[in-house]
Structure 1
Amino acid sequence: MIVHQDFLVALFLPVVAVLADVLIGDPHRLPHPVCLLGWVAARLEEAARRTTGAMRLKGVLGVCILAGGSGAAVWGLIHLPVIGMAVGLYLAYAGLALGQLLREARSVARLMDGGDLDGARKALSMLVSRDTAHLSEAEVRSGLAETLSENLNDGFVAPFFYLALGGPVALWVYKAVSTLDSMWGYMTPRYRQFGWAAARLDDVLAWAPARLTAVVMVLVAWCMGARTKGVWARIAADAGKSSSPNAGWPMAAAAWLIGASMGGPAIYFGQLKHKPQLGPKRLDWDTEATERLMRLVLLSGLACAALVLGVLGLTHCLV
């Protein structure tokens, strides 16, 4: 069996990126590449709305420009002489968000535990797109649980999946699509046509990682001592209630494995939306449930990364 040097380098990059993400998070002093993607996306939208033509077609072109441009830019950067490897490592690490997600979630939880509901609402507003100004304590905890579980896939498992498969180039193509989906992928009059391509492509790219996330969450919960008999059928049934073909999987898994519900009414951009209930009925999140979810998210993220790398390593050895 021969293990090629190029494969060892490709394996080294994701491993170091995960360690840096979990241990360091996002340094606030450094400009994050996602901010640049967001800025370019906003400029593309401004240009699209200044011109005539079919909004859906212009949305398709916007996705092609940002995703293709991101991939080309990253390819050029990682092939720079001398510094290309270091740049590739930074871009790999910057594309993962498990460590920072957990840090910010813990900040919200600490504010809640300290009785600072207004502070917790404000901190949660930095993580979610819903209106948090008037949320109750139970709603803040439920909203935190939703964003933790959904972003386990969107912010870590899916980006890592593409990092492992295609290096920083594939990672940042995915991140470009994910960023556009978060900015344009809404079923509102403004974005229903313009954001169609971003939303549909994000659905396709996140399909496999979302289901992988849910499966691994069940396995990790079982290792943590949770009762998981029959839970997969409940997760699958609830995941199908979500308007997204992917977001419901890790959210339903978190709700059933921890034993607290998600969903219900929420205000997005001034409009009331009734989200389907996921998990057991009328069981609220408390301090203990939030702590257990954060442990589950951390361990599931690391387990997903290990599983993806293990499968790739085995495949490489067999071929």
Structure 2
Amino acid sequence: MNALLLPLAVGLDLLFGDPAGWPHPVRGIGWAYARCDALADRLGRRSRVFGAICVLAVAGGSAGLVWAASLLPGLGPLCALYFAYAGLALGSLLAEGRRAARFLIAGDLEAARTAVGGLVSRDVAELNAPALWRALAESVAENANDGFVAPLFWLAVAGPAGLWAYKAVSTADSMWGYRTPRYRELGWFGARADDALAWIPARLTVAGLWLGARLLGLGRGVRLADIARDAAKSASPNAGWPMAAAAWLCGGGMGGPARYFGAVVEKPRLGPAAGSWDAPRYAKLSRMVLLTGFIISLGTIILRSIFALLWTA
């Protein structure tokens, strides 16, 4: 992989995000899973085995297409850069978060619900302003890993093809990773594979958030033991880590009741019990996540450069 690919991809993501109206590879992956979902119905095979076959086929196909595009004469480097950039989502995450925050600050709850609803899978129709702030903070904290650190990690480890294999697995978890009668078996493999692939990045995200908070003068007195204790409350081995770190470092609690598909789910409480989210706390989180992106990017670029030098020595 070209040494410039990582910094260029990160720079393009932070500058441009996902331009509105542009086609995005994730839509193609989503289309493939939708066809697999319909096929599972027709065949009557909503099983773990069929789900695993679908995820492996879509992930392998995604990686293969990106790898082949990266080898095209003349266009290969541009294709590699595009797929590396398109697989990162920190710029869009922060931009959408700022948009939702502006609506909340202005008191436009309907617009805020629409904006926050585009970032979360929970029902937002009945959420008031404090609940919308909390949902927004939870989404931004969790997606700092899912949308940026984990894809960047796999880009550094296995190039654009590896990044898109990860994105395909992550998309399977997003679409099928629900413990509902319809997806409990079909989505099992995708959810477990996503847990495995995001295990290291989730903990790197906490390290980035911790360092970012220190640079901003936030989170004094917060112990890593507090974060680890709360992270262990989550049913996911990864999602709780960046959320618990954000909650403690910004002083805003996370978790509590949330409605998904019409059913209320009691999510584990993370962070200070009395801390509620508002504009100042969300502004701190946004700055901390941006700094995390820079810290993780710089560390990844340095480590990959050292590895490349040792490999060629």
Q: Smaller-chain TM-score range?
A: over 0.9
State the AA in 2 paired with 1:39: W
Q: Which residue of 2 aligns with 1:267?
A: 259
- 2: distance between equivalents of 1:231 and 1:153? 21
Distance in 2 of aligned mates of 1:164 and 1:54: 34
**Distance of 2:44 and 2:126 partners within structure 1:** 40
1:188 is matched with which residue? Answer: 180
- The correspondence of residues 168-179 of structure 1 with structure 2, limited to 5 A, is 168-179=160-171
Distance, in Å, in 1 between the alignment partners of 2:222 and 2:89 is: 31
Q: Which residue of 2 aligns with 1:248?
A: 240
Question: What's the secondary structure of 2:182's corresponding residue?
Answer: coil
Partner of 2:196: 204
| 1:78 alignment counterpart | 70
Unaligned 5+ runs, structure 2? none
* Equivalent of 1:131 in 114, 120, 123: 123
Structure 1 residues 93 and 301: CA distance shift in structure 2, 3 A: same
CA-CA distance at 1:294 after TM superposition:
0.4
**Equivalent position of 1:68 in the other structure:** 60
Structure 2 partner of 1:163: 155
Alpha-carbon shift at residue 54 of structure 1 (Å): 6.0
Equivalenced residues, count: 311
Q: Is the 8 A contact 1:218 1:228 kept in 2?
A: no
Match in the other structure for 2:41 = 49
* Native 8 Å contact 1:59 1:197 kept in 2: yes
Confirm whether residue 32 of structure 1 aligns to residue 24 of structure 2: yes
Deviation sequence 1:131-176 (CA, Å, 0-9, x none): 0001010000000000000000000000000111111000000000
Contact 1:152 1:297 in 2 (8 A): yes
Q: Could you give the per-residue CA deviations for residues 266-312 of structure 1, whole angstroms, max 9, x where no partner exists?
A: 00111110001100002111110011110001110111111122122
Task: Give yes or no for contact 1:117–1:137 (8 Å, CA) kept in 2.
Answer: yes
**SS at structure 2 position matched to 1:234:** helix
Residue identity over aligned pairs, in percent, reads 50
Distance in 1 (CA, whole Å) between partners of 2:107 and 2:166 is 39
* Superposed CA offset, 1:188-213 (max 9, x none): 11111110000000000000000010
Match of 2:294 among 284, 297, 302: 302
Q: Does structure 1 conserve the Cα–Cα contact (< 8 Å) formed by 2:14 and 2:91?
A: yes
CA contact (8 A) 2:60 2:165 kept: yes
One-letter amino acid matched to 2:253? S
> Contact 1:226–1:257 (CA<8 Å) still a contact in 2?
yes
Which residue identity does 2:294 align to in structure 1?
L
Contact 1:231/1:257 (<8 A) preserved? no
Equivalent-residue separation in structure 2 for 1:228 and 1:83 (angstroms): 49
Residue 115 of structure 1 is matched in structure 2 by 107
- Give the superposed CA RMSD: 1.1
Q: Which amino acid aligns with 1:290?
A: Y
Determine the C-alpha separation between the residues in 1 that align with 2:218 and 2:118. Answer: 31
CA-CA distance at 1:52 after TM superposition = 3.3
Q: Structure 2 CA distance, aligned partners of 1:287 and 1:310? A: 35
Check the 8 A contact 1:121/1:133 in 2, yes or no. yes
CA distance in structure 2 between the partners assigned to 1:166 and 1:190 by the alignment: 33
Write the distance in 2 (CA, Å) between the matches of 1:25 and 1:158.
17
**Which residue does the alignment assign to 1:289?**
281
Q: Quick one: which of 5, 9, 12 aligns to 1:17?
A: 9
Q: Which amino acid aligns with 1:317?
A: L
TM-score (norm 2): 0.97
Residue equivalent to 1:258:
250
Classify the secondary structure of the residue corresponding to 1:303. helix
